[in-house]
Amino acid sequence: MGFGRSSSSSSALKWLGFVTAVWVQSISGNNYTFSNYSDALKSLMNLTQLELNNLSVAKDVGKAFGILAGLASDRLSTPVILLIGCFEGLLGYGVQWLVVSRTIQPLPYWQMCVFLCMGGNSTTWMNTAVLVTCIRNFRRNRGPVSGILKGYVGLSTAIFTDLCTALFSSDPASFLVLLAVVPFAVCLTAVFFLREIPPAASAAEENEESRYFVVFNIVAVVVAVYLQSYDIIGIKTGAISVAFASILLILLVSPIAVPFHAFIRSLNSNDRDERDIEGRIDEPLLRSEIVEETVIGAAATADNELPPSVNPSNEDEENHGTIVTMEEVEKKSQPVLGEDHTILEAVLTVDFWVLFVSFLCGVGTGLAVMNN
């Protein structure tokens, strides 16, 4: 009975961790919002367009140091990685807010480059902690996990921008407050719930995971349509803006229903299994043991009566597992696509370099457009 309760809480905790991972991804796209406050930095620091572009490059260079987060993911726990990311983001964007809000005098150009680099690097720690942990928790559903989490990263820019427009009339200083404080608070929440949980052990559990992922996809589509509708309508008065922000927050929180449903369903399933087990303890145990011993004894006698040429059991035991070729050993030592790879093993695969070149050519052009 204790095992059933433990299994229920484990399943619910895994989904609760995934919900907090979705929240982290919903606020981790702050790297793509530089254009929302770049004009304020340009005017306050008297920058040329070239100098402003170099600031955006410093921000993007911070993401290049994301390899540090990847290396740390195998050595540090998920909460530690999240804490590194949220504190780094709080410092990086917090200093930018102090400058834009005129709380402090503009810092030297090279120092601003450092703090923008820290802000850009902070999201790599958040993304790494979330992706690595969730993929390990849902090994048979890596595709849906990656798609949902990266989809919310894409929505995060619109979430930040529309919330700031609705609540603060697009004030750059207020926007930087959101970039500094909101990821910090969300990551602190994820620290308590996002952790590695044993993956699904049966086909039924995998099918249940697939059904829950459909719910997350539906919520993501609804959020995307809702954000687009707000931008198209263009009516942004006080009451409408507050209502928009409230509904958006409700939509973002709504996936919390999934772990509650999983917990209740697991409890009901465990209760039914316990009742079935109790119902089957009516037959005398002694009689079943006698029958079992009789069957085993008869089988053993039959085996002993067979001549060595007819009884192949001895030969099977001797020959089993003795013939293993070198090719089979090499295949077993090399992980296949979908299994965990070390950095060296990944670098030696064609898939790694295809992804590397694709990101190098594709993501860079998108960032150039977003920064300007």
Q: What is the pTM of this model?
A: 0.75
Q: Residue 66's pLDDT is what? A: 84
Please compute Rg for the chain using Cα positions.
28
Q: Residue 184's pLDDT is what? A: 94
CA distances from 103 to 88, 118, 256 (A): 20, 20, 38
Q: Which residues of the chain have pLDDT under 50?
A: 1-5, 285-291, 295, 302, 306, 310, 312, 317-318, 321-322, 329-330
**What pLDDT, in 10s, does the model give residues 25-67?**
998 877 788 888 889 999 999 999 899 999 989 988 888 888 8
**What pLDDT, in 10s, does the model give residues 293-328?**
554 555 555 455 545 554 545 555 445 544 555 555
- Which token pair is 14? 């895994």
Residue with tokens 């969300």: 186
Looking at the chain, which runs of residues are DSSP E strands?
none
| CB distance 84 to 125 below 8 Å | yes
Q: Residue 290's pLDDT is what? A: 45
Give the integer Cα–Cα distance in Å for 68 and 66: 5
What is the overall mean pLDDT for the chain?
80
AA letter at 349: T
All structural domains of the chain? 2-271 (1.20.1250.20)
Q: Strand, coil or helix: what is 237?
A: coil
Q: Residue 4's pLDDT is what? A: 45
Closest CA to 17 of 142, 138, 182, 157: 138
- Which token pair is 200? 């699904």
336: DSSP letter: P
Q: Residue 2's pLDDT is what? A: 43
CA distances from 264 to 21, 199, 259, 267 (A): 21, 19, 9, 5
Q: Residue 124's pLDDT is what? A: 92
- Which token pair is 312? 């192949």
Q: Residue 273's pLDDT is what? A: 53
- Which token pair is 231? 């931008």
Q: Residue 186's pLDDT is what? A: 94
